[in-house]
Amino acid sequence: MNKLKKINGNNSLLIRELTGRDTLSIQNIWKECFTTDLNYITNFIQHCFPYSKSWGIFLNNSKNAVAMVSALPSYSILEKSTEKSLKIDGLYIYGLGTLREHRNKGYSALLMNEATIYAQKSSLNYIILKPAEESLYTLYRKHSFENNLTCYLIEIDISKKKNKEAPLKRGSFKTIITQNNNHLKNRESLAKTNFLWPDKILQYSLLEIKSRGGNTKYSQKEANLLSEPRLTDERDKTPLFYSSYLDESDASTVKVIDHNVLSEQDLKSVINNLTSQNNLLSKIIFEFPTTTNLAIFSDYTHQYSIINSGLMKLLTPESGKREHLLKLHLTLSME
């Protein structure tokens, strides 16, 4: 729905949903606000924009937007012991930007409000986002994103002798092809701990990781390689996978931004696979849900902290859904 609003006397402001005819506006806003990498922008326009909702602000009947935001579909699965599992749909705020000369006029707030109205009319349960900087958390909290999402940040120093000598316990890892539909099913095994993405958005996130020089790999867990009994958790039945890329400011550090590591053996498999690919690696940084048993890191010299991983605006009044959503980890988020 298009909304025409008057501001500053005679100036007119139009908020409307963006379409394929607005590609030039999207390119201009992304180049000024986010990146000059045209391949990165093209990936968004071709592989994410068609599967999400986006709104723009237009001034004085111009055909070019001065600000925009996108809302990507997200979901979670609430498992019930006596009933069928319940899918909980929501939105992820992405690509909120305003051209430099039009900033500090409240346009971001107008666009966030538009996304909220859409979510409410669509009976969605939540809206999540990941502020680009720590200082922005305060700003978003003023717009009713009152619930902190947190996670463990685990830094493992693999330059230490103890870590280097961790025994190799792994199967062979293969790089996931972007169009691999099995990865969607495998990630749904994280439903108890993570927000999830529909297939098209998940494929886009894998492309984004690849554009950063990273990749996503998986390995079928092999019981004969493990010295302890298999876990009974449903996630243990899926292949072990992880997504990672090198830290932009330190080529000796790799960030593992998504994974289904459950045990000490899983952790060793991922670490050994990463170190076998990069002899210069000195540090691996993992994000884990705060429900993780930190004992799995006992063989490694590490330090951990609890950090903010995002913010959430809860829209559902149902206590069961709210309790479930507040425990989830926002991972594989597009930034």
pLDDT for res 232: 42
Distance from chain centroid for Cα 179: 18
Choice among 31-35, 46-50, 221-225, 262-266 with the minimum mean pLDDT: 221-225
Average pLDDT over residues 225-230: 36
Contacts of 89 (CB under 8 A, 6+ apart): 73, 74, 75, 122, 124, 125
Q: One fold for both 3-124 and 150-309? A: yes
pLDDT for res 192: 85
pLDDT for res 177: 60
For residue 135, is pLDDT > 90? Answer: no
Average pLDDT over residues 218-239: 52
Q: Determine what percent of the chain is predicted with pLDDT higher than 90.
A: 59
pLDDT for res 171: 54
Average pLDDT over residues 195-219: 91
Contacts of 148 (CB under 8 A, 6+ apart): 137, 308, 311, 312
Average pLDDT over residues 324-331: 93
Place of tokens 């909290």: 141
Read off φ and ψ for residue 193, nearest 5 degrees: -125, -15
State the average pLDDT for the chain: 86
- Domain ranges in the chain are 3-124, 150-309
pLDDT for res 298: 82
d(CA 327, CA 77): 12
- This prediction has a pTM of 0.88
Query: pLDDT digits over 26-38, tens only?
Result: 999 999 999 999 9
Do strands 250-259 and 283-288 pair parallel, antiparallel, or not at all (unpaired)? parallel
Q: Are 314 and 136 in contact (CB under 8 A)?
A: no
Residue 154, classed as helix, strand or coil, is: strand
Kindly report the length of the chain.
335
Residue 274, classed as helix, strand or coil, is: helix
Query: pLDDT digits over 145-183, tens only?
Result: 999 999 999 999 988 755 554 444 445 677 766 556 677
Superfamily name with CATH number, domain 3-124: Gcn5-related N-acetyltransferase (GNAT) (3.40.630.30)
The CATH code that applies to domain 150-309 is: 3.40.630.30
